[in-house]
Structures are given as structure tokens and as C-alpha cells.
Amino acid sequence: MQRRTILFARTKCNTVEKTDPYMKFTDLGLSPKVLSAVETAGYSEPTPIQAQAIPEVLNRRDVMGIAQTGTGKTAAFTLPMISLSEKGRARARMPRTLILEPTRELAAQVEENFNKYSINHKLNVALLIGGVSFEDQMRKLDRGADVLIATPGRLLDLFERGRILMTGVEILVIDEADRMLDMGFIPDIERIVKMVPFTRQTLFFSATMPPIIEKLADQFLQNPVQVQVAAAASTAKNIEQKLVKSPKKDFEKRAVLRGLIDNAVKLNNGIIFCNRKRDVATLHTSLSKRDYSVGSLHGDMDQTSRTKTLNGFRSGDIKLLVASDVAARGLDIPDVSHVFNYDVPTHAEDYVHRIGRCGRAGREGWAFTLLTPSDDKYIKAILELTGDDIAYVEGDAQASDEPEAKRSSRGRKTDKGEAAAENSSPRPKPRRTSRKKLNEDEVKASPAIEALEQHEEPSPKPKRAKPEKLERSGKRGRNRDDDNEPTPKGLGDHVPAFLMQSTRDVR
Ligand code: ADP
Ligand code: MG
């Protein structure tokens, strides 16, 4: 693989990094119509990944693009793709471009981006995602789509129903490529790759790329150029990260989390990540009972609720989103200022993506990770992967992003300051006692929460131990919160296809 690695110094930088101060969108070879759309979008200069990848894509090269979260990878593949689409004509039911995304929400977001960048083109885009009816999607396909933006499961379903011909695909984009090539998705990806022509151009993009996945990715690429503007898995430097020591018990963890939320003055919108779907639900209930403005998102929810919640969060009606890793990849919500890892992710790459939901496009972001004594090995893996030196704070009072005097209650339904928030909440004041004391006081103050907590309390239940063990086993696949419906069969103990492969040409 030809490598064009432009490694950036690990410095604090609040703007999208610039490769070359003289590099302009007009230098990259994009068509006038695309340049005009870029201007309308308000982008003055290309980001490094855009400056480096766009000319390569326009030269019809296969590309492996690695750049930090929130640095404009979507436009890095979309803009040249739209430029290239000006050559040639679409045929009915013969799309020329296929973009694969790991989640429905991300696919929908990429469609929005695509529409923004193609305002001067007459391209028909079909969004093919699960959880919604087939009819509209089939109608679109029958009318003729130039571009497919899809989650793998729905694409395969439609293909099997004879609704799509993929023999006209000239460009295949696999966004969040390392996620798409790990064992939850790889059987689907292998099938899809066999359906598109061998002569296609293939583009892979991600912020993380573990070496074993990179090796696999090479088999899908032909003489690729690697465009890497930062070390893979390096975190965006405009995100301030903190580790927050927390007791292990759920009700104590929740109190530490609330302390962080309440003390975060610059909190605009925040995403709270849990490792397990059931914890998403519990935490959601707990926070909403305390009058926080909160919604939840995980893969077992029906799509209508998922969409409604995400729209509410995007619009600012919902301030806090409790989510599983279904929200970890790619979502671009500029107002997200904070990420809270209620649980330490068990896959270190997920950490990079989770915290990458804040600090988008050079904005400031804060990422707090609650750390219980049993999380040591996971946090060690994260520190090794990212190379970051993350400071510890002791929870609650010290874990603020602003001086104490300015703190107020954030993330509540009412935003009239501490007094109003406290009035609408059963929580007592003062709140800044020692952490242990505060937690006990808080829990006792709320009968509803007390009931909830007591209900959850008996922890060594054999029933609960099982899923945790599976989740912690480090295996991805059925347990993970992904959208690769229908769920690939037999993946639990299945040896992933790529581990079985030698030099087989997977095209
Ligand atoms: P990534 O895929 O790298 O995580 P996205 O493609 O989602 O990032 O882009 C992150 C944000 O940056 C989006 O809101 C997008 O509109 C914005 N953006 C992209 N390119 C530029 C640019 N050249 N100048 C300013 N903002 C940009
Ligand atoms: Mg992206």
C-alpha cells in the first residue's frame, strides 16, 4: 500500500487542523458545481483529510483514510464522489455508488450531508436502512437511484428480493471501516463486496484502525493510497478528558454521574454511554425521575422511538441522551459539549468514537469516564491505544469544567439556575459535601429512586451475571448494539471469517 501519512503533532488545537495554509477547495480538482455547494455549506478551507483524500479519490484511487473524529471525513469521500458522478449516466435500478454505514442514524445523517453537497446535481439518493418499511425504499429503487446509502442488513434484504442490481456500482465507500470489518458485520460485508464489480473503486474511512482489521481491509482494496492525518485512534485534541473514580454500586455511580452533570457549567448537550442496553433504560428512568431532560437510544428500541429521540436531542429539546454504542460512531451533533462514559467501554476503539461525539469540527468538548475498581484493565487498554495521559478526578465537586462559583444545575428540564432546578427536584442542598456523604443523602432523599435502587440492588443474582460475562468477553457480534439486521447467525462462538482467510481474494 502506498502510504501518504501526514502525522500531526499531538498539540492542543481548537480549530479543524489545516494541512497546508495555502490549500484551498479550488486546488483539489472538484467540479465547479461541487465547489459552489461547498461554498453554500460555509466551508472556507478543506480539512487535512479532505485536502489529502479528495485528489486521490478524483484520481480513481482506492483510499484508506484515517483521521480523528469530527474532522470532515464524510465530505472527504462525498465531494469527490459527486464530482465523479457528473461523468456518465445513471441507468434505472443501477446505482453507481454505494455507501455503507454501521447504524441507521448514521446512514440518515450521511444522506443529509450528501443532499447538502449535491444541491447543484440531480442525483437520486436511496436511503436503505432497517426498522422502517420496505415500500418507500423499493419505490425509490424502482425509479432509479444513483446513490445508495445503506446499512448492510437492509441492503442484503432488498438485494435478495431482487430489488437492486449492484453490477453498476463504480464506487464503494465503507465508512467506519474497522467497525464494518469486525465480526458483527464481516459476513455481510463479504457478501456485499462479492455483489459489486471487481473493477470498482473502494474507499475506507475511520478514526480507528486496529492492525488486524487493517490487514483484512487490504484484501478489499486494490493498490490503495493510505491517507492518514493523525495516528489511528488518536483522540481529537480539543476534547478535554477526565477519569472519575467511582464506587462500583449502581446507585453510587449514578450519584457520581449526577454530580458531574450538575457541575458542568459549559454543558450544552451531553451523551451518557452505557455498555449494556438494560443499564441505558435504568439510567434513563433514574435521571428522568430526577427531572433531568433526558432521552435514551439503543438498538432494541423501535425505529420510530429512535428517530424521535435523536431528533429531540438534535433540536435541543432533550439535553441528555443515555445511549448504548449504537450512538458511538459517526453521529455529528454540533451542540454536544459533553460525553459521559457511565461505563468504561470494553473495546478501546469505542472510547475514541464515544468521546468523538463531542468536540466536533474543532469545538470544545469534555469527556468524563467513570472508573470503578474493576475497570482497570479496560482503561489501561484505552490509555495504551490513544497514547493519552488522562487526568484523574475524584468525582463530583472536583470534576467540573469551570470554577466552583459559576456552577449550576445543568441538563435539567428547567434552566433557571440552581434554585429552580432544586425546586423541581427532590434532591437536597447543599450538594458539595464529601462524595460518600452526598451519595447517601441523595439516595435517601428520593423515595422513587430509593424504590428503584432497592429493586435493582441484589447484585449477585445469577440471572444478571450471564449477559455481563458475555459482554466482557471482548467478543463483538450478537451482543453488540448494531444494526446489521438480520442478526448474522451463529456469530457468538463463530470464528470470524477474516481469521480463517489466508490470501483469498475476497472480491
Ligand atoms: P468525521 O466523519 O470525520 O467524524 P464529519 O464528516 O461528520 O466528521 O464532519 C464533522 C463536522 O465538520 C460536520 O458538522 C461538518 O459539517 C463539518 N465540516 C466538514 N468539513 C468542513 C470544513 N472543510 N470546514 C468546516 N467544517 C467542516
Ligand atoms: Mg464520520
Average pLDDT of span 195-200: 97
Burial class (CB in 10 A: 0-12, 13-18, 19+), 283: buried
Q: Which ligand is nearest to the CA of 361?
A: 1
Average pLDDT of span 417-436: 30
> pLDDT, tens digit, for every residue of 89-136?
666 668 999 999 999 999 999 999 999 999 999 999 999 999 999 999
pLDDT (0 to 100) of residue 10: 28
Rounded distance from Cα 324 to ligand 1 centre (Å): 23
Distance CA 214, CA 209 (A): 6
Contact indicator for 426, 446 with CB cutoff of 8 Å: yes
- For residue 394, what pLDDT band results from cuts at 50, 70 and 90? confident
Residue 343 identity: D
Domain made up of 239-412: CATH architecture:
3-Layer(aba) Sandwich (3.40)
pLDDT (0 to 100) of residue 155: 98
Q: Does residue 402 carry a pLDDT above 80?
A: no
pLDDT (0 to 100) of residue 19: 52
Q: Does residue 345 carry a pLDDT above 60?
A: yes
In this structure, which CATH number among 3.40.50.300, 3.75.10.10, 3.30.565.10, 3.60.70.12 belongs to the domain 6-228?
Answer: 3.40.50.300
Longest Cα–Cα distance of the chain, Å, equals 70
- For residue 20, what pLDDT band results from cuts at 50, 70 and 90? low
Rounded distance from Cα 407 to ligand 1 centre (Å): 31
Rounded distance from Cα 47 to ligand 1 centre (Å): 8
Average pLDDT of span 430-454: 31
Q: Where in the chain is the domain with CATH 3.40.50.300?
A: 6-228, 239-412
Ligand 1, CB within 6 Å, residue ranges: 16, 43, 46-47, 50, 67, 69-75, 332, 334, 360-361
Average pLDDT of span 331-359: 97
Distance CA 160, CA 157 (A): 5
CB count within 10 Å of CB 422 equals 18
pLDDT (0 to 100) of residue 88: 73
Q: Which atom of ligand 1 is nearest to the CA of 44?
A: 24
Average pLDDT, the chain: 80
Q: Which ligand is nearest to the CA of 112?
A: 1
* Residue 175, beta-bridge partner list: 205
Q: What are the residues whose beta carbon lies below 5 Å from ligand 2 (ion)? A: 73, 330
| Contacts for 490 with CB less than 8 Å, ≥ 6 apart | none
Q: Which atom of ligand 1 is nearest to the CA of 75?
A: 6
> pLDDT, tens digit, for every residue of 23-44?
899 999 999 999 999 999 999 9
Average pLDDT of span 251-259: 97
pTM to 2 decimal places:
0.81
> pLDDT, tens digit, for every residue of 457-478?
223 333 333 333 323 333 454 3
Dig out the grid coordinates for 478 from the structure.
450478537
pLDDT (0 to 100) of residue 3: 60
